[in-house]
Structure 1
């Protein structure tokens, strides 16, 4: 049986909610409101009042009222007693399937909407979904809450909100050295159960992990363009592309990310911040499986002892991309080897697309603290590597900055959208552990001082300032809001039509074939 980990509680980055604090691990998925509404449905169907049911099971009417309204989670002993009194079974009352009728479903939706932070922020009085409230009124209230939530999400689905959320998560991860121990343990447990011992995790072992969760992996060539994978929860299928997609996302990694959503019990993200946190978790889990902690730390410790740490060796030992190996180092170097580190993915246009640091390197930031899209100093290794002719191996450089001297290793790659560099660096004092520490390449950076590389030379500015009129390329994404489907960036119509076309067809008995 696969154990589960609640979203980002693994790193204590998010406090427990009121409804889940103190719950036993096996019951965190229990929806108290749904259980309560099922009890109410069966009670009314048998013509019993709360007082009569309370007398039958030896429980106070007030307690049963709290249970039916989802304000209190019933003990299993009470569930059993209520089920017997109502002529049903505990399994029926605890069934995660949809509510028994439309009225119950509407009552649950209204209760859940009125418990949301959005509703509480409005300061409006709560409407009790009592039996006296007409079903038509319930329909209207639920629809209004749905539209309110949709408009709230749309107003927040902006590049500014995305950057704010990304900055918040980056700072939280820096505070824990980019290390999530519980996901590490879970990934290790999963790969060992699938038969992993050493070296690269195989596709067969990934398939076994999916089977353990009741899923089969199916490769298709018509995935919706807005998705990397699609999981059919109804039929236990994970759909993947037929071959690796551009950018280094291998099939193993894609499958592991889809598996991670299930293992970590992710629910549909209610905000862009939650969406990004889930993305971080599934990426972390995939990395923890492809480069399992025990084997990875053993490999890195031996390399450190030999003073021969190298991203390319780490990459080759586990059969992953250079970027995956470099990013995995940020999870392990500080927590297990005591080495502070930074990581950058920089486009050939000089923009920083992804970054992490806990070693004090001065990343470029905007006024909000966001680093994404900011221009990296032209003197940094991540930029100078594009001028190197031999790009087949790692390139090394020392860079003197206002925050100290850093040693860095960079490697370039390319996608259909252009070139990029992957850089891993450490403070000067820790360069002694790495291959390439003897490089004589050294640059000096005074960024964020504009005179370093952002301000043109005086003679060039004098010559061209009034004679140049470039036509700037418009980055349309800076003007467009984020897509507002059930999942950010995903076209719901495409996904649902795709699932319909690939769903198993019923056989002659009416069961899925």
Structure 2
């Protein structure tokens, strides 16, 4: 038994109204002819009620059309089609989330205005579908930001100046920034710190701007330096960030806040003095920078890229690579050939298996610092690589320079050397012929999908954060604080 097609009530209603107006009848006239209340016919014409077949047949006879005419799926006119499209667009969750009033497509609204409104909604929907279908927006934003960072040597003078002023104000002139120093920075910027056990999982910290409180978890998740989390949060306020206008703006703010935090943990003047002295002695080492300021290897490597080109005249590249070879972060101004996709994005790509960031995982002691020369198509590069263990697995932190600059670094005497011709598939992506002959028709691996590469960018002003959870948290703690007082 075939199912009857589902009736599109809004279109049916528009066709009934169109036929009634073409017949020169008012709603009251038609209601009298079919012996029904005008309110019932009004609900039908507005798509809010489905008529019985007997009533629809009676209406069709009085209007001089067939039931099939009234039930056709297309709108009866261009004007009706625009009215339907506007109603449908304003019923979507995306429009409701904007909190804007609905526009009623009455007779007084000109056709041109309807065309413009529907066109705007269609473009908004197209952009939303592109954004939801792939993480392309994130990749393009990341690539664009990396180009800007390269143009300025990954050095932000205005953030350095601000961080230096704050460091001077709290009298942090050299060495590691202690927990007491972090508290001093927090107080200097007018905030207090509060450790809690119920911070929402989608957040690393929550700031109550009304009461100038920053809430942090009792135990930092993922092995992050608690000082870094506090300083990154404070960076948004010190840099006067406002709600991000889109993903690109969100990403820019995040990079600036991270830079601010590193500039406080390793202030420019003492860090540059240390690096200049190390270069003069030809003993530059990320390990030493890490130990001098008591930060993680990754934080030290990041900070080195901020200062190396601007103050030491060294072109550099940086990578954070997973054990599977996936690039999570990357930066270069030394013309090293990173793998990229068609948008120019590096993140998510697989690095050559012969590069130091992959070879380090094969060392008998993978946590010892690894030094390596790699011959590439456009020259030879030297890298210093260190593996850091995190809650999400092991990651290789890699800093490299062109061969002509290796004389300034510790580890330059290494004899480890590799050759890479990537992106040529014959380099490392195509299996050796003997292996392929033996196994190509007898292997069926079940791939582990990298879901983060397929997922849409989470919605919201701050992507991935559940606003309701945040507001409930602040409500809960504002009551608690009031009770304490």
TM-score by shorter chain over 0.5: yes
Structure 1 residue 417 displacement after superposition? 2.2
Structure 1 unmatched runs, 5+: 1-108, 111-122, 128-140
Structure 2 residue 410 is matched with structure 1 residue 435: yes
Structure 1 residue 482 displacement after superposition? 2.0
Structure 1 stretches of 4+ moved >6 Å: 145-151
Structure 2 unmatched runs, 5+: 1-98, 101-111
3-state SS of the aligned residue for 2:243? coil
In the other structure, the counterpart of 1:344 is 319
In the other structure, the counterpart of 1:497 is 472
Structure-1 separation of matches of 2:481 and 2:138: 42
Structure 2 residue 348 is matched with structure 1 residue 377: no
3-state SS of the aligned residue for 1:246? helix
Deviates more, 1:201-210 or 1:279-288: 201-210
1:240 corresponds to which of 210, 216, 220: 216
Structure 1 residue 442 displacement after superposition? 0.6
Q: Is the 8 A contact 1:397 1:407 kept in 2?
A: yes
Change (3 A) 1:279 1:357: same
Q: What do the CA deviations read for 1:219-278 (whole angstroms, capped 9, x no partner)? A: 11221111111101111101112233325x211111111111111111111110000000
1:278 corresponds to which of 240, 253, 260: 253
TM-score under structure 1 normalisation? 0.69
Structure-2 separation of matches of 1:347 and 1:434: 25
Q: Is the 8 A contact 1:407 1:427 kept in 2?
A: yes
Q: Is the 8 A contact 2:348 2:453 kept in 1?
A: no
Superposed, 1:117-156 pairs within 5 Å as 156=131
Q: Is the 8 A contact 1:153 1:271 kept in 2?
A: no
In the other structure, the counterpart of 1:316 is 291
Change (3 A) 1:349 1:243: same
Superposed, 1:123-202 pairs within 5 Å as 156=131, 158-202=134-178
Structure-2 separation of matches of 1:447 and 1:469: 26
Superposed, 1:73-472 pairs within 5 Å as 156=131, 158-247=134-223, 249-472=224-447
3-state SS of the aligned residue for 1:503? helix
Deviates more, 1:347-356 or 1:155-164: 155-164
In the other structure, the counterpart of 1:60 is none
Change (3 A) 1:148 1:400: closer
TM-score under structure 2 normalisation? 0.73
Change (3 A) 1:318 1:507: closer
Structure-1 separation of matches of 2:198 and 2:212: 18
Structure 1 residue 152 displacement after superposition? 5.6
Change (3 A) 1:166 1:234: same
Structure 1 residue 147 displacement after superposition? 13
Structure 1 residue 151 displacement after superposition? 9.1
Q: What do the CA deviations read for 1:376-408 (whole angstroms, capped 9, x no partner)? A: 111100000001112343110101000200110
In the other structure, the counterpart of 1:136 is none
User: What root-mean-square deviation, in Å, do the aligned CA atoms of Structure 1 and Structure 2 show?
Assistant: 2.6
Q: Is the 8 A contact 2:141 2:247 kept in 1?
A: yes
Change (3 A) 1:304 1:270: same
Q: What do the CA deviations read for 1:91-116 (whole angstroms, capped 9, x no partner)? A: xxxxxxxxxxxxxxxxxx98xxxxxx
Deviates more, 1:418-427 or 1:203-212: 203-212
Q: Is the 8 A contact 1:333 1:341 kept in 2?
A: yes
3-state SS of the aligned residue for 2:427? coil
3-state SS of the aligned residue for 1:451? helix
User: Whose Rg is larger?
Assistant: 2
Change (3 A) 1:435 1:506: closer
3-state SS of the aligned residue for 1:452? helix
Change (3 A) 1:321 1:313: same
Q: Is the 8 A contact 1:153 1:484 kept in 2?
A: no
Structure-1 separation of matches of 2:121 and 2:179: 41
1:487 corresponds to which of 462, 477, 483: 462
3-state SS of the aligned residue for 1:201? coil
Q: Is the 8 A contact 1:215 1:238 kept in 2?
A: yes
Q: Is the 8 A contact 1:343 1:356 kept in 2?
A: yes
Structure with the largest fraction of helix: 2
Change (3 A) 1:280 1:154: farther
Structure-1 separation of matches of 2:122 and 2:192: 36
Structure-1 separation of matches of 2:128 and 2:295: 36
Deviates more, 1:222-231 or 1:413-422: 413-422
3-state SS of the aligned residue for 1:313? helix
Aligned pair count reads: 374
Structure 1 residue 214 displacement after superposition? 1.9
Structure 1 residue 486 displacement after superposition? 2.8
Structure-1 separation of matches of 2:346 and 2:152: 19
3-state SS of the aligned residue for 2:141? helix
Change (3 A) 1:455 1:257: same
